[in-house]
Structure 1
């Protein structure tokens, strides 16, 4: 299974797309894809779908979304000639579900690998390799994470983490290019990167505006670096159990966890 989340969500099995027609199953698929090959607790899925509190029919609704996803996955598996079943891909485990990619690709993981190689090269003083690997990482982005998907608290959190990683990669790439003296080329490449993902952060929005207005003028990079030195560090807002996001999602009565039994273990039957 191949996953792309650095832009619109795309999921393929053996080259065959898996694209649920309804918004809630797409949202569940996006949440599972964001934590591919790891268990996503059932209560987290419920909190994602119903941030103001799970309705009385939540168990039936979530079961319907899982069955729809498995039907779509099963169709793709048959067309692709795979020996895996839908239950092998969308796996039930006590307490939640796991999207088993079967060793497939993930653009988010590829981004982490390329960016990590770039950071290591930068620390080692290899500016050419750092610039190459960081540009490779940023080329994987086509838009904001999970574009077109309804986002509840957990997807917003994942999107914020990915966006923060994008910002760090952009900053380190600029540092490497500036130190190499490739400033006009850097301006041209930056314009292309920022055209694909319009970061809402003022620092990057102003950089894009300057690049659009001034073209390949190296002074654009100098101004950006001065603004960056004067800006507070940008950090992703965490949504954690018991935190602000979780409290807002639960609302009164802690209804989001109404699917959970004692000690938070979901009561949902195996699907």
Structure 2
């Protein structure tokens, strides 16, 4: 079985053993295929992306060598002159024929969707377990050395945004399970990294309140109000305003709800369209 990881350093395992994906351009071929989500990448698109619009005279031949080398690495037992089953030829180019479960960047969004559905269905324990599983896939910035390439940027941005959503789903589930003290440290780090994410601030303020830290909860909301005004010239949205009013009133609704009343999570961001 082949497994591919791009949520950090680009790596692959074959039959449980790590394999060498070769030179930088050869690894870029692999990364570009993963980025295409199993769709065909044309040879013209490969040449444009790998050499940034300035291909060498024999770029197509070089690309074919990289593909051939990757095929030997990914299918070491394949008999000569038999069709490849992982990195397959598909006119007008190539694609990866792998299940989403064995490619971390393909599996991660599916796990986030499962966590969201579990929250919406009042199953916070399942949501927490699934969000943890999703976040454990990450070891660094997606696509590593290629993260700033034009062809990779939309996917990197999408995955990083989806990761922030997964962190918030995990916190939402933890709060629903009464684990407010446990979620505070991660939420503090999360809000520090994403100070304009109102949902993150909402979760942190709620966690503070449930931990008996009403002053910290109100301070977090006040800082966000000031930051939104300074940075964007806007007021907090209705969820933050309602939470502030509820905290000041010490509303009973702020206590841990039964699982069937767990708030519906914010939707995950849509996946951007990619060039083929």
TM value normalised by structure 2? 0.64
CA distance in 1, matches of 2:217, 2:60: 49
Larger Rg: 2
Aligned to 1:143: 140
C-alpha RMSD over aligned residues? 4.0
Q: 1:104 to 1:61 in 2, by over 3 A?
A: farther
TM value normalised by structure 1? 0.65
CA distance in 2, matches of 1:117, 1:26: 31
**Are residues 1:168 and 2:150 paired?**
no
Aligned to 1:251: none
Whether the aligned pair in 1 keeps the contact of 2:43 and 2:93 (CA below 8 Å) is: yes
Whether the aligned pair in 2 keeps the contact of 1:9 and 1:146 (CA below 8 Å) is: yes
Q: 1:72 to 1:39 in 2, by over 3 A?
A: closer
Whether the aligned pair in 2 keeps the contact of 1:5 and 1:107 (CA below 8 Å) is: yes
* 1:1-271 aligned within 5 A: 1-51=2-52, 53-55=53-55, 57=57, 60-78=58-76, 81-82=77-78, 87-101=84-98, 105-149=102-146, 151-187=148-184, 201=194
Q: 1:150 to 1:6 in 2, by over 3 A?
A: closer
Query: More relative contact order in 1 or in 2 (CA 8 Å, sep 6+)?
Result: 1
Deviation at 1:171, TM superposition (A): 1.8
Whether the aligned pair in 2 keeps the contact of 1:12 and 1:18 (CA below 8 Å) is: yes
Deviates more, 1:230-239 or 1:142-151: 230-239
Deviation at 1:97, TM superposition (A): 0.9
Q: 1:9 to 1:50 in 2, by over 3 A?
A: same
